Amino acid sequence: MRVIEQSRCKVLRHVIAIGGDSIVNIDIVHETLGSGLAGTVLLLAGLLLAPSAVQAQDWTLYDELLAAHVAPVEREGIRFHGVDYAAWAQDPRYPQLLAQIESHPLDSLQSEADKLAFYINVYNVYAIRMVIDNAPLTSIRDAGSLFSPVWKKPVGSLGGRTVTLDEIEHQILRPMGEPRIHFAIVCASLSCPDLRRESFSAARLETQLQEQTQGFLDNASKGLQQDGSRVRVSQIFDWFEVDFDSAGGVEAFVSRYHRLPAGARLRADIPYNWNLNAQ
């Protein structure tokens, strides 16, 4: 774009705000003769109409922590992905990950997939944080009390505002109308869906949510149990029954992932084990 001879120009430093939070310095070339003002206006217009310079959240540190400190485990008759909370807490990548999350500009989350992936990851990281910050625990619920449930306790910040696990789940994720989030967010308990050993991403979200849902329902120790026409599923389907209305109801949703026998009697009553999903 700079076609004017340098001898006929002067460079001015301009500060442009892009996306509300990211500020960049731009060198604008002004022609000292003729149509310099018009050229400057055109250049500014092009810069302001360009896509935002804000980068998507980099989940590399989270992926590394998951690979290092999460592994398949079986305990109390339940198969799950166990977390080595003590090792996670001591890993120098952990505070770096928290800093990245807390400083990430929320207005960079443009698409529905961007938002879902980001907030699912944040929920899972912050559930781990709640356990670490209140260790030792037998259950994440022990970090709270009857009058001050753990879900409503401050756990971190997003966009400069303190948040709770309850807010992330019920005020951000559930209103987005995607019932499969219930098999992606993990409340640090044995009967929760397995903590995925990779971060969720907008580009792969559909595949990841499908895999999480299928994997949970294939796990007879906590997802779905069948005895003839009697089918039992996790209490998740009872607690959040209304969220599956968009999929035709719980039975219709489950039938997408597991072939139900004719005349199946579906009950969401598999006992939920709240003990910590620790290795």
**Segments making up each domain of the chain, as ranges:** 6-49, 60-270
Burial pattern 103-123, b for ≥16 Cβ within 10 A else e, equals: ebbeebbeeebbbbbbbbbbb
Tokens of 57: 């959240």
* Alpha-helix runs per DSSP H in 135-267: 165-166, 205-218, 236-239, 250-255
The low-confidence residues of the chain, meaning pLDDT below 70, are: 1-55
Interhelix angle 93-103/60-69, nearest 10 degrees: 140
Contact 116, 200 (CB under 8 A): yes
Q: Would you call 210 helix, strand, or coil by DSSP?
A: helix
Strand partners, 73: 80
Distance CA 273, CA 277 (A): 10
pLDDT of 33 reads 34
Please state, in angstroms and as integers, the Cα–Cα distance from residue 94 to each residue in 129, 163, 191, 221, 263, following that order. 9, 19, 25, 31, 49
Contact 141, 150 (CB under 8 A): yes
What is the pTM assigned to this prediction? Answer: 0.81
Measured in whole angstroms, the distance separating CA 154 from the mean position of its chain's CA atoms is 17
Contact 159, 233 (CB under 8 A): no
Over the stretch 8-22, which tens digit does the pLDDT of each residue have? Answer: 333 333 333 333 333
